[in-house]
Amino acid sequence: MQPVEGTSDIAGPERPQQRAFRGTRLIGPRLYLPATILIIVIAFIGFWPTYFGPALKGRVHVPPLIHLHAVIYVTWLALFATQVALAATNRVKLHMQLGRWMMAYGVVVVIAGLMALAQAFGTRLATEDVFRAQRYLFGVLKDLVFFVPFLVAGWIYRRKPEIHKRLMIVATTILVLPAVSRMSFLGTPVPIWKFMLVWPIPVYLLMINDFYRKRLIHPVYLIGVAAMLTMRLILPFGSSHAWQSIAAVITAFYRATFG
């Protein structure tokens, strides 16, 4: 669906950033939509056996906060898919308007992640040994620490669509890491080579497209894959003495605050 030249999806002259979005084809329908669908498929495959499948049968027994956390993350995926569809169909003005709210919603995603982490960390402290609980704490905090910079950069570069669109798809791919961790058919735990084969598939698809069309790969994708690999390589730090010293302070604060 192409708009009348010189207009946006809502009548009126285009602003410079809207023209920039159109001129660079912010998110082409041929590849970014399939990449987004792949992200959603990865999320549902990973969580189906332990959450979505049992939830449909009423067999999921988790605290309400965990259900809220799941709803918030699924909503992020739905909003992201909507943004991709809007840009792919050249509804740029609406894409930009929704984008402001989506970035604000990104803050909600992070807060929900921290709240769910606090809930799960407390449960593990009560039912498991402290070491295992603190190692879990490292794993989840790490995911948020890597997600946030890509989200913030996506907002900073929102008027540079060639960078913005890549930052946002990398950020959303990072969010589905826990889904890949739950793919028991890949092994338990999932070997790193299988992890790095499956997890970044949406990014790999777009990297191949970059190379095919331009004979180069955009630096954002290279940084994104390097970040994802780093997230797997630093997992042993969660069992190190250095992390245990840091985690001991967090544990003491948690117990003093939440009992």
What is the CA angle 87-103-10, rounded to 5?
A: 40
What average pLDDT does the structure give for the chain?
87
**Residue 240 — φ and ψ, nearest 5°?**
-80, 160
What percentage of the chain carries pLDDT values higher than 90? 64
Q: For residue 59, what pLDDT is reported?
A: 85
pTM, rounded to two decimals: 0.85
**Contact present, 206 and 35 (Cβ < 8 Å):** yes
HSE, CB side, 13 Å, CA atoms: give it for residue 229: 9
pLDDT digits over 61-98, tens only?
Answer: 888 888 999 999 999 999 999 999 988 888 889 988 89
Q: What is the secondary structure of 72-130 as a DSSP string?
A: HHHHHHHHHHHHHHHHHTT-HHHHHHHHHHHHHHHHHHHHHHHHHHHHHHHHHHHHS-H
Q: What region does 6 belong to: left with phi over 0, alpha with psi -120 to 50, or beta?
A: left
